[in-house]
Structure 1
């Protein structure tokens, strides 16, 4: 591992690293695609497995990690800790890949919780404000407190089955609803579900751009992945899912309303992530194939669109030294290309065609309404408020006259490649729906 890490760190420290990293990522994707052509689960060894769900999430992790490094120019080039930053990103990527491929329940727990450490390092070392200490404390307390019941449930699972294989013991179920809820709680906090989401806006606002991108695009999906992998263990799941479904339905509307009144761009996108995760939880709560497929599609679509929005918010902050929605105006007069990127990703966030988000919301809406017809009104409100804050954010930033308090005159066009590499997969990944539906 050390022989691979050191040359990669030297490559990332070079100004020409982005093209090398892009080429390396594409080659890895091609090799992984060859492994997943059959669509069936492949046991690589006793500890590792591979299927289409792992394939899609590993591709997302590789792609977003490459874009995280490309978006963090100040953290890499203008800091003396550039190698530490690169090493932290690589360590987080390796932990995420191990989480998505491991078949050992103890190794899954270790990698699931170990991903918290590089995230804390990113927030503490490269955060923007002194409040990053409070944000890190919230993140640590919420996730660690919820992970202890998960550890107890997994210890009971190992004692009862005398096996550490997570995916080969399908005949066993946790004996009571308390153990099922204990295992579910850690994943719901990680997503996060409404009422356990207070750590997420604080972590997003105080994190550097790389931390915000990895939180929104991958770490939130780690909770969804844990639910999808361990759902077969839960007893009386329908009784639990009714409660979770109701909380998530209320949370989806509430956080969408909160987004309309948010003055901070980062906080707005963070709360929109909570709203989209609530939709995924509702889809999984239906316990149907359509809900499963829609949740998987939404994971990929939201991971790309939210990561792109956070990257563009960071570009606005580095240029205008402000993340205020009211102060940042007139971008269309300064950089039409950047304005077009804002428009495409904002409309993708509100599920406009031809984005992958539209396909995900259609599938999820059909599964949720078939499960509970009374949720149609709630979904309509959520979609209306989502369109309102997405278009409101776009019009506030791009239209009007530039404010004297901010300065968009030096807006760089050097990061257009980051926007393009977010937009192209968002608009084309719906072509991989047959692979997603076979997970």
Structure 2
């Protein structure tokens, strides 16, 4: 693990060198491949020191973080060519990458909380400094307000538990006070549910996505939401019986919220907002699976985090490419891509099919595991789960048909100047998905 951390620390000094932009992309990709080659099928948690631990979930999320960080830089080549503080941008991306990898790896619960909150600062800077809409300050304020305020009850309960049990480790020697009931436990999980985000606490997510640059949207969808899922899985595995009294409430809200957000997607005109609401629906299914506290639910949630990380990041990148061509995110004006850019239409088709869990994608496997775990606990949930899967297919097909079919408008660039690096980044999103289809045991 130390051999994996040292290259990431070294990466923070890369912006100081000339030609560091392309070198940092290669460097991060080599780091992720190095971690991937050193992965072992460790289902049990292995502590390598009093500060760090690893298992399959930690290593898989670390690879996802480093890989997506390299693609964020590659997808943001426009910043480099226009010389819009490219060195500062690269440093913020590399710093965020380091914070997230440390957050997935530390075993001290207080250090985890500090890193969990520290990841918001580089994200907010990405939105404020490189966002292209006037409401970006308001979006960053929403992001900070929702996530920080929701995690304060979690901080209070963590401090009390640490004091009561005299333990600072995430996974060992925790004893729980007698007054600790399921509703106080819900306060501990609230910070993770807002980060996920759970329906009713999700209003910050579409706003942040709409105002963020392409790199900000990619890191939000692919990695930052997974911090909430990671925290839920870790905390739930500590004392799974605490979920018994609140699981029915949270699962009900998650599944009803999944149906509502899926219906909202059918009425969305903004492409980025549609993809953001789609993420809320998927994370609702993930949360319901985690709250079952079953092995299938946990493994399905883990697969969903990785699968959704690659597909949502690619969809936001495609939305940005579409915006660069016609300067609008409206589905009413984005028409006839199939006529002018058939190759881009192919990428829309591939990643929307992955997003709707079409076979043989890893998303399908994760949804089958999650649905099985939820239905085994509550048979009545089959109705809501059926609606979610049906409507998800509906809005994915709706988005594809709106963008790629129909008559073109006056603002469409008939001879689009598509950049090679965009398609390279999309291809690098697809490679890991194909690898996971062939070898899904890498992450469960």
Q: Give the TM-score normalised by the residue count of structure 1.
A: 0.94
Show the 5 A alignment for 1:28-177.
28-169=32-173, 172=176, 175-177=180-182
**Over residues 289-327 of structure 1, what are the superposed CA-to-partner deviations in whole Å (9 max), with x where a residue is unaligned?**
111111111111111000000001111111111111111
Q: Quick one: distance in 2 between partners of 1:113 and 1:94? A: 14
**Over residues 222-249 of structure 1, what are the superposed CA-to-partner deviations in whole Å (9 max), with x where a residue is unaligned?**
0010011111246631111111001001
CA contact (8 A) 1:36 1:55 kept: no
- Range 421-430 or range 77-86, more displaced: 421-430
Name the CA shift for 1:200/1:246 in 2 (closer, same or farther; >3 Å): same
Show the 5 A alignment for 1:4-403.
4-5=10-11, 7-10=13-16, 13-14=19-20, 16-17=22-23, 21-22=25-26, 24-169=28-173, 172=176, 175-231=180-236, 232-233=238-239, 236-403=242-409
Q: Quick one: distance in 2 between partners of 1:230 and 1:173? A: 16
Secondary structure at 2:50 match in 1: coil
Q: Quick one: distance in 2 between partners of 1:35 and 1:359? A: 22
- Range 404-413 or range 382-391, more displaced: 404-413
CA contact (8 A) 2:206 2:276 kept: yes
Q: Quick one: distance in 2 between partners of 1:366 and 1:6? A: 43
Deviation at 1:24, TM superposition (A): 4.3
**Over residues 268-301 of structure 1, what are the superposed CA-to-partner deviations in whole Å (9 max), with x where a residue is unaligned?**
0000000000000111121111111111111111
- Residue 443 of structure 2 corresponds to 436
Q: Give the TM-score normalised by the residue count of structure 2.
A: 0.93
Deviation at 1:29, TM superposition (A): 2.8
Secondary structure at 1:353 match in 2: coil
Secondary structure at 1:324 match in 2: coil
Name the CA shift for 1:308/1:386 in 2 (closer, same or farther; >3 Å): same
Aligned Cα root-mean-square deviation (Å): 2.0
Q: Quick one: distance in 2 between partners of 1:24 and 1:127? A: 24
Name the CA shift for 1:210/1:24 in 2 (closer, same or farther; >3 Å): closer
Deviation at 1:23, TM superposition (A): 5.5
- Range 214-223 or range 396-405, more displaced: 396-405
Name the CA shift for 1:93/1:338 in 2 (closer, same or farther; >3 Å): same
- Range 409-418 or range 198-207, more displaced: 409-418
Secondary structure at 1:236 match in 2: helix
CA contact (8 A) 2:325 2:413 kept: yes
Name the CA shift for 1:155/1:170 in 2 (closer, same or farther; >3 Å): closer
- Residue 3 of structure 2 corresponds to none
Deviation at 1:170, TM superposition (A): 5.3
CA contact (8 A) 2:51 2:108 kept: yes
Name the CA shift for 1:12/1:39 in 2 (closer, same or farther; >3 Å): farther
Q: Unpaired segments of 5 or more residues in structure 1?
A: none
